[in-house]
Copies of this chain bind each other. A is one copy, B any other.
């Protein structure tokens, strides 16, 4: 107990790096927020220096910064054996390509740094404090301008040589849908048919203007149910948790569940069939999932280093 009283109390930093802003949070070991700021995303030099300065200036009053968790737009190199591990790689924001995120914060703050994709970060957030609490096997899917997923299997983020990109899976076209995939690369592409961008292009209006009884949502629910079928068989999760702008429309959930039930036709794991209402669920943390995950990553890095 004495340790938590003195100035060397370990503090944890979380950064959510987005295309328009960087959210930065300083928290103590129990998760209480000590300081928070938002920094507009401009050039890498300016933005990263402002993030660094926030932690340098805010931490000393409360303790000592022990570790930083960063969840970031990508693509990221997350292969620990790679020479460019921790870099943003080729991104659509040219100034941010080949930026060494982990290296920058390690050097300038002299601390442990963990990095994950935005969607993996949100999955970590849901796992530690949200809809995936105490659930070792689940999928967190975000449906917004794009579609992405973070997968927990056996209590850990599942990863191959790179993070999964479920948005690119090929799916059967819906019967009533004559829209071509808006993905510039792939036909039959989930993201090209069911992302917010696809809905916008198909109906020539922002999804938020489409009423609940519009055909748009029947088509959307069909594609998201196909995705759930494939996630179910590929990862055998206990839950599929949805986040992202499109999924803020509550009426989508019963539609997805009804489609999924129809498609599975009585054949699936018991956990799926017995209670669809607890299988297909919305995020608990909403817009805070990413920054919550970033703080969790920092705490975990600190504990692992201390125990190793």
Q: List residues of A whose CB falls within 8 A of some B CB.
A: 137, 153-154, 158-173, 185-188, 226, 229-230, 233-238, 263-267, 269, 271
**Subset of 19 A-B contacts with CB under 8 Å:** A154-B159, A154-B160, A158-B158, A160-B235, A161-B237, A161-B238, A164-B235, A169-B229, A169-B234, A170-B171, A170-B172, A170-B229, A170-B230, A171-B171, A172-B173, A185-B265, A185-B266, A186-B264, A230-B230
Contact: B233 with A160, CB < 8 Å? Answer: no
Query: What 8 A-B pairs come out closest when comparing CB atoms?
Result: A160-B236, A137-B160, A185-B267, A162-B236, A168-B233, A172-B172, A172-B188, A185-B265
Query: Known contacts being A154-B159, A161-B269, A271-B161, is A233 close to B263, with CB within 8 Å?
Result: no
Residue of B nearest to A169 (CB): B230
Residue of B nearest to A269 (CB): B162
In the complex, chain B residues whose CB is within 8 Å of the CB of A263: 170, 186-187
Contact: A234 with B267, CB < 8 Å? Answer: no
Q: Which of A161, A163, A226, A266 has the most CB of B within 10 A?
A: A161
